[in-house]
């Protein structure tokens, strides 16, 4: 089956980089791109008009948690007012033994919602860096049914985080549990890598640098090399973590990971905000950005998640100039990759007080090509002959959008995820006219809402102070609930 997408602004890859073709063409044959660029005159079986739309490679979202919106709701406003930019107080450190894992139907409902939510807003490849555990057979089946492209495995750690009855954070180490979780992750990779017609691929997830002991991090990296898969961990994400690693290893998180051989070109680090380049840790010794560049590790930048906590990289441009590979992700809701382009651009300008940084070219590259080195995928993040047919049609010509000369600048300055009209993964149309083609969206949303509201109702049972969600995060205005 050969399909011609024609009449739009086509972001084709020349081999050296992206270039834009006005009234360009893309030809898809089965799951691959046959042609991308100027006019195509060969025979086709079907035609798809992209008039008034940007025809873009699908975005690679390098930071997704398939755990629903319960924790994300609590990330806002005052939830972090006393734990130095960490999320422990919000939802990651319950009273020990009080937080009950959700049942399989709840897990399935939240996973489906996360995948669909991200897909509809431009993410064709999702890097699942840790979500709800269990029912991995159902997980693989969901990837198959929805048609998404996913890299994943169960996260592992050997230091769980809890609060005591006075609200003090502590780490509970269990070496045996950590080893068992790593085995679960490697078993997942061996069983499911290549499932869902090759769209489900394995990777390892060491939960956070400070929740994994040095032996577990070393073992995880060794396992990733043996399995020939990438590995991820959260690092430089908050000041609690930074200080703990400094106290335990007398090094920054980046330098510590480099010294134990964890960093190389198959390593993804989530966030990496707090480094020697950032003023808040007040640790100017060494050069973490040089270390990242020399090891080839990829930084997963989630600009909006940190912006709403009054933080950002110092800075996106500084990392690029140092030779660090930077890719974009969403982390929390909304999983709007189009909006993340603008956040990355604007925050770079504000941080550096320089309106000539955070260029549309650079943030678009981060959302498309940035993850390809870590994934070792030269067939993703680009529209070129032989590449996977992961394609977005994004509506630019409507009254809510600007009149524009450059469609990439228009996308970065004025676009949002709701402008995504069509999403194609592996040559299959998964979203058309802004609606999912394979599932009942209303049903997916309803199930996820019920699951999340049940989660919120359980919060006082595992919170150290018994607080309800509305008390932790007061609403913007008084809310009068319906009887």
Q: Concatenated DSSP letters for 414-433?
A: H--GGGEEEEEETTEEEEET
With a CB cutoff of 8 Å and minimum separation 6, the contacts of 117 are: 333, 334, 335
Residue 88 is classified by DSSP as I
The CATH code of the domain at 59-375 is 3.20.20.140
Determine which of 78-92, 174-188, 243-257 has the lowest per-residue pLDDT on average.
78-92
- 270 pairs with which residues across the strands? 234, 300
Residue 310 is classified by DSSP as T
The span from the CA of 165 to the CA of 68, in Å, is: 27
In this predicted structure, the answer to whether residue 173 has a pLDDT above a threshold of 90 is yes
With a CB cutoff of 8 Å and minimum separation 6, the contacts of 87 are: 71, 75, 79, 80, 238
Peptide bond into 195 cis (omega under 30): no
**Nearest residue to 388 (alpha-carbon basis) of 202, 203, 144, 197:** 197
Judge whether 73 and 453 are in contact, CB under 8 Å: no
Query: How, if at all, do strands 428-432 and 420-425 pair?
Result: antiparallel
In this predicted structure, the answer to whether residue 278 has a pLDDT above a threshold of 60 is yes
**pLDDT over 90 for what percent of the chain?**
85
- 47 pairs with which residues across the strands? 4
Q: State residue 153's pLDDT score.
A: 97
Judge whether 431 and 120 are in contact, CB under 8 Å: yes
**Nearest residue to 300 (alpha-carbon basis) of 273, 268, 322:** 268
In this predicted structure, the answer to whether residue 71 has a pLDDT above a threshold of 80 is no
In this predicted structure, the answer to whether residue 74 has a pLDDT above a threshold of 70 is no
The span from the CA of 354 to the CA of 357, in Å, is: 6
pLDDT in tens, 362-391: 999 999 999 999 999 999 999 999 999 999
Q: State residue 467's pLDDT score.
A: 85
Q: State residue 470's pLDDT score.
A: 83
With a CB cutoff of 8 Å and minimum separation 6, the contacts of 163 are: 88, 89, 93, 94, 95, 169, 170, 463, 464
- Give the chain's radius of gyration (CA, Å): 22
pLDDT, average across residues 452-469: 89
**How confident is residue 87, by pLDDT bands cut at 50, 70 and 90?**
low
The long-range contacts involving 292-295, CB below 8 angstroms and separated by at least 24 positions, are 292/254, 292/263, 292/319, 292/322, 292/324, 293/322, 293/323, 293/324, 295/258, 295/263, 295/264, 295/265, 295/267
Q: How far is CA 187 from the centre of its chain?
A: 23
Judge whether 9 and 396 are in contact, CB under 8 Å: yes
pLDDT in tens, 136-170: 999 999 999 999 999 999 999 999 999 999 888 89
Q: State residue 73's pLDDT score.
A: 63
The span from the CA of 424 to the CA of 32, in Å, is: 11
Judge whether 351 and 314 are in contact, CB under 8 Å: yes
- What pTM, to 2 d.p., does this model score? 0.97
- The label of the residue with tokens 């299959």 reads 428
**How confident is residue 84, by pLDDT bands cut at 50, 70 and 90?**
low
Determine the 3-state secondary structure of 364 from DSSP.
Answer: helix
Cα separations (Å) of 417 from 151, 358, 378, 380, 405?
22, 20, 25, 20, 21
Residue 146 is classified by DSSP as H
- The label of the residue with tokens 């913007």 reads 476
Q: Which CATH class is domain 2-57+385-436?
A: mainly beta
Q: State residue 338's pLDDT score.
A: 98
- The label of the residue with tokens 């509970």 reads 172
Q: State residue 318's pLDDT score.
A: 98
Determine the 3-state secondary structure of 200 from DSSP.
Answer: strand
Domain boundaries, the chain: 2-57+385-436, 59-375
Q: Do domains 2-57+385-436 and 59-375 have the same CATH topology?
A: no
Q: State residue 91's pLDDT score.
A: 64
Q: State residue 380's pLDDT score.
A: 98
pLDDT in tens, 319-365: 999 999 999 999 988 999 999 999 999 999 999 999 999 999 999 99
């Amino acid at each position: 089956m050969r399909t011609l997408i024609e009449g739009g602004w086509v972001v084709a890859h020349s081999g050296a980089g992206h270039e834009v073709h006005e009234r360009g063409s893309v030809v898809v044959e089965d799951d691959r791109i046959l042609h991308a660029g100027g006019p195509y005159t060969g025979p086709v079986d079907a035609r798809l008009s992209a008039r008034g739309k940007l025809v873009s490679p699908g975005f690679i979202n390098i930071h997704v948690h398939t755990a629903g919106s319960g924790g994300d709701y609590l990330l806002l406003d005052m939830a972090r007012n006393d734990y130095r930019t960490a999320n422990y107080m919000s939802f990651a450190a319950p009273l020990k033994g009080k937080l009950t894992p959700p049942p399989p139907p709840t897990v399935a409902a939240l996973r489906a919602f996360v995948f669909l939510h991200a897909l509809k807003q431009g993410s064709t490849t999702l890097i699942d860096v840790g979500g709800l555990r269990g029912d991995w057979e159902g997980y693989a089946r969901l990837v198959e049914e929805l048609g998404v492209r996913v890299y994943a495995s169960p996260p592992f750690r050997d230091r769980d985080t809890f609060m005591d009855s006075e609200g003090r954070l502590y780490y509970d180490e269990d070496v045996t549990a950590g080893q068992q979780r790593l085995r679960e992750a490697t078993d997942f990779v061996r069983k499911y890598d290549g499932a869902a017609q090759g769209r489900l691929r394995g990777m390892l997830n060491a939960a956070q640098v400070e929740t994994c002991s040095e032996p577990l991090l070393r073992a995880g990296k060794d396992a990733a090399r043996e399995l020939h898969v990438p590995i991820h961990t959260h690092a430089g994400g908050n000041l609690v973590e930074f200080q703990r690693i400094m106290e335990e290893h007398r090094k920054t998180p980046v330098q510590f990971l480099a010294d134990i051989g964890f960093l190389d070109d198959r390593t993804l680090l989530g966030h990496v905000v707090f480094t020697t380049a950032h003023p808040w840790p007040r640790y100017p010794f060494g050069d973490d950005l040089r270390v990242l560049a020399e090891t080839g590790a990829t930084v997963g930048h989630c600009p909006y998640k940190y912006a709403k906590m009054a933080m950002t990289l110092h800075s996106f441009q500084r990392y690029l100039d140092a030779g660090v590979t930077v890719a974009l992700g969403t982390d929390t809701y909304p999983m709007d990759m189009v909006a993340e382009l603008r956040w990355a651009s604007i925050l770079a300008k504000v941080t550096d007080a320089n309106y000539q940084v955070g260029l549309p070219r650079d943030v678009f590259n981060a959302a498309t090509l940035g993850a390809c080195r870590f994934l070792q995928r030269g067939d993703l993040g680009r529209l070129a002959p032989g590449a996977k047919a992961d394609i977005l049609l994004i509506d630019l010509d409507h009254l809510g959008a600007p009149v524009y000369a450059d469609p990439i600048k228009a996308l970065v300055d004025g676009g949002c995820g709701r402008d995504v009209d069509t999403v194609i993964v592996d040559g299959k149309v998964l979203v058309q006219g802004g609606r999912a083609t394979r599932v009942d969206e209303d049903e997916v949303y309803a199930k996820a809402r019920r699951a999340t509201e049940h989660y919120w109702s359980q919060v006082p049972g595992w919170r150290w102070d018994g607080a309800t969600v509305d008390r932790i995060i007061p609403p913007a205005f008084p809310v009068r609930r319906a009887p």
